Amino acid sequence: MINLRTGGILAGCIAMLTTASANAQHRHGSGHTDFVQHGGHVDAVHHHGRHFGHNNWNYVVPHHDARHHNGSYYVQDNSYYYTPTPVVRVAPTTIQTAELYPVQVVQKPVQLQFGGYARFEDLSGRLEVEINRLCLDMHYNYRHNPGFEESYREAYALLRAAKFVHAKEHQGDRNAIRDQVVQMDQLMHHVQGEVLQWSRHHVRQVASGGVIEKSSAVEAILHHLCYDVGIEPHGDDEPAPAPNAGEEQAPAPGGVINSAPPGF
């Protein structure tokens, strides 16, 4: 049975964004390799394969760590794959002004099936971690921006929905899962559009990069999660264990963090 409170919060956000979502929900794009200089950070706009040594990959979800969320995901020729290989971002070598990225050899790639729920647990766990980090980064370093309160409420609604999905409150109700994922996908694109023009006042570093890189990571995970639960991921041309106990949790809108957070 779906958590009506969580579903209501997401639905309320979506209802307020009907016009904006109509224009934003097809912004997954074909995977550009752009970077954005953003508040002292160089953020990856899309997780394109060139940054991982494979130009023909897109929507790369890299390896997380040895204890949580092993392996990596990527899209190649419109097919979705998981590999236990710990794919990580690589630095290019510049030769005569040309940037050459070292190729990472991938072993045992497994092609995922549309709606197969083969990697649902892992992807939903990664999604919860990444959205929590996005919220924390917003809370610490971007709250001076106009429209912050509304955008943070939307991002926090995404976090609550991610927790709902990962915690299995749906009790195996796959229709409830898909409904939540669809709404998250739509709302995430609106949040991405809002934070794109934000400036950063650095207070505290949360994981790597800024809000652009973190929102890009969320987008890539959602892309795979949509496919895994049977939702056609958006595109114009062309989503494990819960976070460990030491992971700081983002505060609710208007909330205050009262304890010193652990390092990331």
pLDDT score recorded for residue 113: 96
Number of Cα atoms under 13 Å in the Cβ half of residue 38: 21
Show the 3-state SS of 156-215.
Answer: HHHHHHHHHHHCCCCCCCHHHHHHHHHHHHHHHHHHHHHHCCCCCCCCCCCCCCCHHHHH
Q: How confident is the model at residue 158 (pLDDT cuts 50, 70, 90)?
A: very high
| 236 pLDDT higher than 90 | no
Give the pLDDT band of residue 39 (cuts 50, 70, 90).
very low
Question: Distance between CA 88 and CA 51 in Å, rounded?
Answer: 9
Residues 69-127: pLDDT tens digits? Answer: 889 999 999 999 999 888 877 765 554 455 566 666 777 899 999 999 999 999 999 99
**Residue 15 zone, left/alpha/beta (φ > 0; ψ -120 to 50; rest):** alpha
The pTM assigned to this predicted structure is: 0.73
Single-letter amino acid, residue 60:
V
Three-class secondary structure of residue 61 per DSSP: strand
Query: 230: Cβ–Cβ under 8 A, 6 or more apart, which residues?
Result: 114, 115, 174, 178
